[in-house]
Amino acid sequence: MIENLGIYYYFWAYIKYDYYTKKFLNTSPTWQELILKAQEIGLSETDVEQLYLILGIDRPSCL
């Protein structure tokens, strides 16, 4: 079983923001709800920085 880590929810939120929101598709949960869930579980700023470093992209201002 995969651990319930905040970075997973954050990455899911990023995918929803980058793909679904830009195409004006409504899905549930929203990327905003996933960000809140990630923060509740214990998302660290280091995890977020490492994610964008691995992806090789700049962090969107709203995330």
Please give the pLDDT value at position 1: 62
- Cβ–Cβ < 8 Å for 59, 52: yes
2 has a pLDDT exceeding 80: no
Alpha-carbon distance of 19 to 25, in angstroms, equals 9
18 and 58 in contact (C-beta within 8 Å)? no
Mean per-residue pLDDT over the chain, rounded = 91
- pLDDT tens for residues 12-48? 999 999 998 888 888 899 999 999 999 999 999 999 9
Question: Greater confidence, 4 or 49?
Answer: 49
Kindly report the number of other CB atoms within 10 A of residue 56's CB atom.
6
